[in-house]
């Protein structure tokens, strides 16, 4: 809070909700305090319906807050003129835009809207900015393609290039990775990270892809039940904030791996011995099929052995019996079917 004035984007005491009057007004979330600095990639997390989109729409001034302040470059968002705001904050929503006869460059060129004259004609400089933006997102080869004829991942990049062309210090994106396949998700987030660091922009995006974001984001805004927690992803891990995000569900957050896992009903305890990669992956498999790892388990245990050839083998020790397996799969399927008789 002390360095509030140097922050690019700061939110104080914000309450958001549905617009309306009296009873119609629905408060979704209140008491939001958060900041984002220059050159930072900020990921916004939260459960479905917690109000991520509403928060973002408030930040880009598409919706008015119920109370509280949103400052961009030290100026209240409501005090910007429409054009000034358009030169300061750009936005990508979740809406899949489909306009006939609109080419990739045309779409990116929309970003120059706040800079062109009343005719909307692009100047030389504008065209250069557009071209550069298209290149930055790696779509130079598609620049003349109709936006209705490119993939979702490509379209998302076009929308991002548009914000680059708009040349705003703050870029806000609502779930840019939704509906994309895994490589595209990574690449989009990576692209956002590059935009933040290379172009010194403040990029705020909401997402559900925690793993990717933890790797790339400089900062996380985490919308919990009652308040918004912010910090580097690692800070939030150490504060156990992620764990509390889903505290009412069967999901648990593993502090050391940074992963969520469904809590399963454990039926039996099992001991495990061995070392290295073999040990950790076997543990995962055993947990998946419902065993609790307990080194004191006396009547059932697995020993992971690495042979000289580099291959692994597994020995299942049960009272009076030792059985050998050559894959985790075989071991697991035996353990599963054998639950009744082991």
Query: Considering the complex, what minimum distance in angstroms separates the CB of residue 90 from other proteins?
Result: 7
Query: Considering the complex, what minimum distance in angstroms separates the CB of residue 99 from other proteins?
Result: 5
Q: How many helices (H) and strands (E) does the chain have?
A: 11, 17
3-state SS assignment for residue 153: helix
Looking at beta carbons, which pairs linking 83-87 to residues 24 or more positions away fall under 8 Å?
Answer: 83/114, 85/61, 86/113, 86/114, 86/166, 86/168, 87/114, 87/115, 87/166, 87/167, 87/168
Residue with tokens 């100047």: 123
- Residue 114 makes contact with other proteins by CB under 8 A: yes
Nearest in space to 111 (alpha carbons), one of 168, 176, 155, 162: 162
Out of 35, 53, 90, 241, the residue judged to bind other proteins by CB under 8 A:
90
- Residue 128 makes contact with other proteins by CB under 8 A: no
**String marking each residue 30-69 x if it binds other proteins according to CB under 8 A:** ------------------------------xxx-------
Retrieve residue 305's tokens. Answer: 């052995």
Give first-to-last CA distance, the chain, whole Å: 59
- Residue 160 makes contact with other proteins by CB under 8 A: no
Out of 26, 31, 74, 120, the residue judged to bind other proteins by CB under 8 A:
120
Query: Considering the complex, what minimum distance in angstroms separates the CB of residue 95 from other proteins?
Result: 6
Region of 32-40, 70-78, 108-116, 288-296 interacting with other proteins (CB under 8 A)? 108-116
- Residue 3 makes contact with other proteins by CB under 8 A: no
Nearest in space to 138 (alpha carbons), one of 100, 169, 183: 183
Decide whether 99 or 232 has the Cβ nearer to other proteins.
Answer: 99
Decide whether 170 or 228 has the Cβ nearer to other proteins.
Answer: 170
Task: Give the CA count within 13 Å in the CB-facing half-sphere of 31.
Answer: 6
- Residue 121 makes contact with other proteins by CB under 8 A: yes
Query: Considering the complex, what minimum distance in angstroms separates the CB of residue 13 from other proteins?
Result: 24
- Residue 135 makes contact with other proteins by CB under 8 A: no
How, if at all, do strands 75-76 and 67-72 pair?
antiparallel
Beta strands in the chain (DSSP E): 9-18, 26-36, 41-46, 67-72, 75-76, 89-92, 170-173, 202-206, 219-223, 228-231, 251-254, 259-262, 268-273, 291-293, 301-306, 312-318, 321-325
- Residue 148 makes contact with other proteins by CB under 8 A: yes
Q: What share of the chain is helix, strand, coil (3-state, %, to 5)?
A: 35, 25, 35
Query: Considering the complex, what minimum distance in angstroms separates the CB of residue 58 from other proteins?
Result: 13
Q: Considering only residues 209 through 248, tell me which ones interact with other proteins, judged by CB under 8 A.
A: none
Query: Considering the complex, what minimum distance in angstroms separates the CB of residue 181 from other proteins?
Result: 23
Out of 85, 155, 195, 196, the residue judged to bind other proteins by CB under 8 A:
85
- Residue 300 makes contact with other proteins by CB under 8 A: no
How, if at all, do strands 89-92 and 26-36 pair?
unpaired
Decide whether 133 or 222 has the Cβ nearer to other proteins.
Answer: 133
- Residue 22 makes contact with other proteins by CB under 8 A: no
- Residue 10 makes contact with other proteins by CB under 8 A: no
Region of 110-118, 199-207, 221-229, 247-255 interacting with other proteins (CB under 8 A)? 110-118
CA-based max dimension of the chain: 88
Decide whether 122 or 285 has the Cβ nearer to other proteins.
Answer: 122
Decide whether 99 or 182 has the Cβ nearer to other proteins.
Answer: 99
């Amino acid at each position: 809070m002390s360095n509030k004035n140097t922050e690019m984007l700061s939110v104080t005491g914000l309450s958001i909700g549905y617009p309306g009057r009296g009873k119609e007004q629905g408060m979704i979330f209140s008491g939001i305090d958060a900041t984002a600095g220059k050159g930072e990639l900020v990921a916004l997390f939260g459960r479905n319906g917690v109000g991520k989109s509403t928060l973002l729409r408030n930040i880009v001034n598409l919706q008015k807050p119920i109370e509280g302040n949103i400052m961009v470059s030290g100026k209240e968002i409501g005090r910007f003129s429409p054009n000034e705001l358009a030169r300061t904050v750009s936005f990508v929503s979740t809406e899949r835009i489909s306009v006939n006869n609109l080419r990739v460059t045309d779409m990116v060129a929309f970003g120059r809207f706040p800079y062109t004259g009343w005719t909307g004609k692009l100047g030389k400089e504008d065209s250069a900015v557009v071209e550069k933006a298209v290149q930055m997102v790696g779509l130079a080869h598609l620049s003349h393609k109709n936006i209705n004829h490119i993939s979702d991942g490509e379209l998302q990049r076009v929308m991002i290039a548009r914000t680059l062309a708009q040349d705003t210090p703050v870029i806000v994106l609502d779930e840019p990775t939704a509906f994309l396949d895994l490589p595209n998700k990574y690449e989009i987030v990576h692209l956002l990270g590059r935009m933040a660091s290379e172009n010194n922009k403040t990029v705020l995006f909401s997402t559900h892809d925690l793993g990717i974001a933890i790797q790339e984001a400089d900062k996380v805004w985490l919308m919990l039940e009652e308040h918004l927690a912010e910090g580097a992803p690692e800070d939030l891990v150490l504060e156990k904030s992620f764990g509390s995000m889903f505290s009412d569900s069967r999901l648990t957050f593993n502090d050391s791996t940074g992963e969520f896992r469904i809590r399963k009903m454990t039926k039996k305890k099992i001991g495990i011995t061995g070392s290295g990669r073999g040990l950790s992956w076997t543990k995962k498999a055993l947990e998946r099929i419902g065993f609790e790892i307990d080194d004191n388990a006396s009547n059932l245990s697995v020993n992971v052995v690495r042979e000289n050839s580099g291959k692994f083998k597994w020995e299942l020790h049960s009272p009076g019996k030792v059985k050998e397996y050559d894959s985790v799969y075989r071991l697991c399927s035996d353990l599963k079917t054998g639950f009744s008789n082991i």
